[in-house]
Amino acid sequence: MVNGSELPFRLLVRRLNAGAVRLCYSPMLYCSKVLQDASDGMLRQHFLIESDEDRPLIVQLASNSPEELAAAAKTVAPFCDGVCLNLGCPQWFAERCQLGAFLLEKPGLCAELVRALAMAVGQEKAVCCKILLLDGETSKERQVRTVALARLLADAGCTLLAVHGRTRAQKNDGPVDYAAIREVQAAVDIPVLVNGGIASRSHADSVLQQTGCAAAMIATAFLANPSLLCSDAATGGSPAIACEQAHSYVDLCHELEGPDQPWAQLPLHLGHLLKRHLREKEATSTTKRTGRYEFLKRLSKGDPPDGFSPCGLEEAALLLRNFAPRAVS
């Protein structure tokens, strides 16, 4: 989930799910950027320095250099409970820099990176990896290749493995191969997290039973419904609840705001939270509703229209006042 799990949204999800969320992951941070700017402002943008409300936390790092990864891991280690080498990002920017899932075909380098990470954080922090299924002409070939990689990572020092049940070519779309994840889980002696396509608490329970994994990782489903795991899940579909969640997210951005903290994910989150309550079919009924739907659709894709600053708390507050009045108790 590119940048969607930033600090304000993590806090929102933790608060709304009343303990059901046991562990959060940060967005994927480039090691080069972490090392270029390890200022107090940068750290406060990503971490709660004076509170443990956002713990336990795994920080995802991206690098193809063992030395760079080790240095960045040491920088973030005081603020988290584990550091994750991201080997699962299939996006174009990861391809351009040869990071994330584009390292999967270099198992020797992957193992070297994990060894460097383990040396950097020691035994006090979890050494994590996030991977996709490796490509193969058949499901069996994908399973065999992915199991071999998982064993290699575990032998190199990985202590927690998250497996997304799609290949790099699928780019987070299409069917999820939970059977392959079950094979990985059975092949290694470390906890495995199942990831991919999980859309509800009941679905998570079913997938956990199917795969035998230690926990389920939910990502994009939280964008539209950050209260996904709470007991009264039906309220997550309520427009009034979604509006209140959007207000709460903006309130958190205000609460955490600082001179070096432009909350660039405001458009993405507001778009996802509100767009689902304007169905495209309904949106075509009037020009006004069509305009709202298209506006929110652009926000959810990270493409804010002209005049809406991607970092603007004022613009966000105005949008919410006009579109999503706060419920009065």
DSSP 85-153: EEE---SHHHHHHT-GGGGTT-HHHHHHHHHHHHHHHTTSSEEEEEEEEPP-SSHHHHHHHHHHHHHHH
For residue 81, with 0-12 CB atoms within 10 Å meaning exposed, 13-18 middle and 19 or more buried, which class applies?
middle
Same domain? For 150 and 15 the reply is yes
Same domain? For 95 and 192 the reply is yes
Same domain? For 212 and 297 the reply is no
Query: Is 271 annotated as contributing to ligand binding?
Result: no
Residue 284 has a pLDDT of 41
Same domain? For 313 and 203 the reply is no
Residues in contact with 319: Cβ distance below 8 Å, sequence separation at least 6, in sequence order:
270, 308
Query: Is 195 annotated as contributing to ligand binding?
Result: yes
Show the low-confidence residues of the chain (pLDDT under 50). Answer: 234, 259-260, 279-290, 310-311, 328-329
User: Is 314 part of a structural domain of the chain?
Assistant: yes
- φ/ψ of 177, rounded to 5, equals -90, 85
Same domain? For 104 and 204 the reply is yes
Given 180, 196, 224, the domain boundary residue is 224
Same domain? For 158 and 187 the reply is yes
Residue 55 has a pLDDT of 97
Given 193, 224, 255, the domain boundary residue is 224
Query: Could you tell me if 1 and 223 are in contact, meaning their C-beta atoms sit under 8 angstroms apart?
Result: yes
Where residue 127 falls (left for φ over 0; alpha for ψ -120 to 50; beta otherwise) is: beta
Residue 41 has a pLDDT of 81
Residue 152 has a pLDDT of 99
Nearest to 162 by CA among 132, 123, 204: 132
Q: How far apart are alpha carbons 298 and 290 in whole angstroms?
A: 12
Q: Give the pair of three-digit tokens for residue 194.
A: 């199942």
Query: Is 164 annotated as contributing to ligand binding?
Result: yes
User: Is 1 part of a structural domain of the chain?
Assistant: no
DSSP-derived letter for residue 228 is: T
Residue 290 has a pLDDT of 47
User: Is 301 part of a structural domain of the chain?
Assistant: yes
Full-model pTM: 0.87
Domain encompassing residue 276: 238-323
Q: How far apart are alpha carbons 195 and 186 in whole angstroms?
A: 16
Same domain? For 74 and 153 the reply is yes
Query: Could you tell me if 270 and 302 are in contact, meaning their C-beta atoms sit under 8 angstroms apart?
Result: no
Query: Is 130 annotated as contributing to ligand binding?
Result: yes
User: Is 144 part of a structural domain of the chain?
Assistant: yes
Look up the CATH number of the domain holding residue 72.
3.20.20.70
In this structure, the strands spanning 192-195 and 82-87 are unpaired
Same domain? For 62 and 105 the reply is yes
DSSP-derived letter for residue 256 is: H
Rg of the chain over Cα atoms, rounded to whole angstroms, equals 20
Q: Which helix (H) or strand (E) holds 221?
A: helix 220-224
Return the amino acid letter for 69. Answer: L
Residue 172 has a pLDDT of 81
User: Is 279 part of a structural domain of the chain?
Assistant: yes
Distances (CA, A) of 268 to 145, 275, 279, 293, 295: 35, 10, 18, 14, 11
Same domain? For 307 and 188 the reply is no
Residue 194 has a pLDDT of 99
User: Is 328 part of a structural domain of the chain?
Assistant: no
Q: How far apart are alpha carbons 40 and 168 in whole angstroms?
A: 35
Same domain? For 195 and 247 the reply is no
Q: How far apart are alpha carbons 218 and 162 in whole angstroms?
A: 11
Residues annotated catalytic, as ranges = 89
Residue 329 has a pLDDT of 40
Same domain? For 75 and 158 the reply is yes
Q: How far is CA 68 from the centre of its chain?
A: 22
Query: Is 196 annotated as contributing to ligand binding?
Result: yes
Same domain? For 210 and 261 the reply is no
- Strand ranges of the sheet holding 82-87, from the earlier edge strand across to the other edge: 24-30, 57-62, 82-87, 126-133, 160-167, 192-195, 215-217
User: Is 2 part of a structural domain of the chain?
Assistant: no
Residue 251 has a pLDDT of 86
Query: Is 136 annotated as contributing to ligand binding?
Result: no
pLDDT averaged over every residue in the chain:
85
Domains: count for the chain: 2
Residue 186 has a pLDDT of 98
